[in-house]
Homo-oligomer: A and B are copies of this chain.
Amino acid sequence: MKISIILAHPDPASLNHAIARTAEAGLRANGHDVILHDLYAERFDPILNASEISETVPVPPEIERYGAEISSADGIVIVHPNWWGQPPAILKGWIDRVLRPGVAYRFLDEDTGEGIPIGLLKAKAAVIFNTANTPSERERNVFGDPLQQIWGNCIFELCGIKEFHREIFTVVVTSSPEQRREWLDHVREIMDQYFPRRL
């Protein structure tokens, strides 16, 4: 399988980076082709300009490449911290620019844009790893955990991906080295579960 990992955290020493590297190692050990995009290291430009909005316009070559890659991925893994119930801006920009009409979804011909789009991504599963400093209960009860809707309903379901798993590691700021090691072991288990070794 061809798996894309998208990582959005500014600190290479972060738990997010460790999660992405652990996922990558597990996927490679299972025999998959893996591309890991560290959006900060790649200096991804998150600004969607007006000239790029229409489905039919040409887009910059790097956006073409990101789009071609996500279109052909058999699996998608996304790693980011929960910042204000949302992804960091750099990842929001990846969503805005890469998950374009014609790449990630399209409208039916008779539709004028307000209707129900058809998902175009062919990945069999998408896995999200989030880190947070809010206890899970407070995230659900006080904040409503918008990332669950964002990734599950607004993005992956709309883009045609049926299987979706989200794992939240929290509270990071007060976590022990043992806790972090357990979390990374769990990352490996989830990779084995969703993207097992081919027989």
Contact = CB atoms under 8 A, between A and B. Distances in A.
Interface of A is mostly: loop
A176 interface: no
Nearest to A172: B114
B84 A95 contact: yes
A153 B133 CA distance: 16
Interface string A146-172: 110110011100000000000000010
A29 interface: no
Interface stretch (A18-26, A44-52, A68-76, A186-194): A44-52
A134 interface: yes
Contact of A143 (B53, B114, B143, B149): B149
A112 interface: yes
Interface in A78-121: 83-90, 92-93, 95-96, 99, 112-114, 116
For chain A, which range describes its interface: under 10, 10 to 19, 20 to 34, or 35 or more residues?
Answer: 35 or more
A55 to B, nearest CB: 13
A56 interface: no
A96 B153 CA distance: 23
B150 A85 contact: yes
Contacts of A89: 46-48, 89-90, 92-93, 95-96
Given A11-B50, A88-B92, A144 B133 contact: no
27 contacts: A10-B50, A11-B53, A46-B46, A46-B89, A46-B93, A47-B89, A48-B83, A84-B150, A84-B155, A85-B146, A86-B86, A86-B87, A86-B92, A86-B150, A88-B96, A92-B92, A113-B133, A114-B133, A114-B173, A114-B174, A143-B153, A143-B154, A144-B146, A144-B149, A144-B154, A146-B147, A146-B149
